């Protein structure tokens, strides 16, 4: 450890990370709405005064619009997040877990991983980083169709989507014609 003349001490180590919190999406249990502070992330956006949201520190922020945001999920599937509030004063993008509850989705948190599922299909995954659950996924800006010549491994893709699915859930998928019986 080296001592500086200003009274500060410094260690001889440098930590570099490519994780950018302002670009990531936080899975939030206490958030009432999906919210985003960056206008360029919206695929559609209707700009209009939409009331206020109150943050955890009791600060009020104005909602300046509402729209849709396209996200690329953990399994390379793209999903459209609807009814996202545009709140420029926020520091982070927030995904409201309570909005998923109202759509009859199930949220399960175990082993530092949060999974949101609809039936047996895992729709959203996030992992705990410090005290926040961060989405496994990324924002899609400027929707473009790209053809891929790389074949996908179907068993790996289904494992990413379903995780370790139980036999009961497979039977349920077969009833709903999502899976074939052999």
Higher pLDDT pick, 147 / 126: 126
The CB density around residue 85, as the number of other CB atoms within 10 Å, is: 24
Report domain extents, the chain: 21-142
Half-sphere exposure at residue 24, Cβ-oriented, CA atoms within 13 angstroms: 18
Beta carbons within 8 Å of 104's beta carbon, 6+ residues apart:
118
Q: Residue 144 — pLDDT band, cuts 50, 70, 90?
A: low
Whether 135 contacts 24, CB under 8 Å: yes
CATH number of 21-142: 2.40.70
The C-alpha atoms of residue 36 and residue 27 are separated, in whole angstroms, by 12
Q: Residue 64 — pLDDT band, cuts 50, 70, 90?
A: very high
Q: Residue 69 — pLDDT band, cuts 50, 70, 90?
A: very high
Kindly state the average pLDDT of the residues 90-109. Answer: 89
Beta carbons within 8 Å of 29's beta carbon, 6+ residues apart:
97, 98
Burial class, 145, CB count within 10 angstroms (exposed 0-12 / middle 13-18 / buried 19+): exposed
Q: Quick one: pLDDT at residue 17?
A: 40
Q: Residue 176 — pLDDT band, cuts 50, 70, 90?
A: confident
Model-level pTM?
0.67
Any idea what the Cα angle at residue 48 is, between residues 47 and 54, rounded to 5°? 110
The C-alpha atoms of residue 137 and residue 98 are separated, in whole angstroms, by 19
pLDDT digits (tens, 9 = 90+) for 10-29: 444 443 344 566 688 999 98
In 3D space, the residue among 92, 100, 18 whose CA is nearest the CA of residue 56 turns out to be 92
């Amino acid at each position: 450890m080296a001592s500086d003349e200003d009274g500060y001490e410094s260690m001889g180590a440098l930590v570099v990370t490519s994780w950018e919190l302002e670009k990531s999406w936080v899975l939030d249990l206490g958030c009432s709405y999906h919210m985003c502070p960056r206008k360029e992330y919206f695929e559609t956006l209707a700009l209009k005064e939409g009331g206020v949201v109150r943050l955890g520190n009791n600060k009020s922020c104005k909602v300046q619009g509402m729209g849709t945001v396209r996200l690329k999920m953990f399994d390379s599937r793209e999903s459209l997040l609807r009814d996202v509030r545009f709140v420029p004063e926020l520091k982070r993008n927030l995904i409201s877990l309570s909005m998923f509850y109202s759509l009859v989705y199930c949220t399960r948190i175990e082993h530092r991983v949060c999974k949101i599922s609809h039936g047996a299909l895992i729709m959203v995954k996030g992992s705990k980083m410090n005290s926040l659950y961060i989405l496994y996924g990324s924002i899609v800006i400027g929707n473009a169709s790209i053809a891929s010549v790389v074949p996908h491994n179907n068993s790996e893709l289904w494992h990413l989507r379903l995780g370790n699915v139980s036999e009961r859930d497979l039977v349920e998928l077969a009833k709903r014609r999502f899976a074939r019986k052999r």
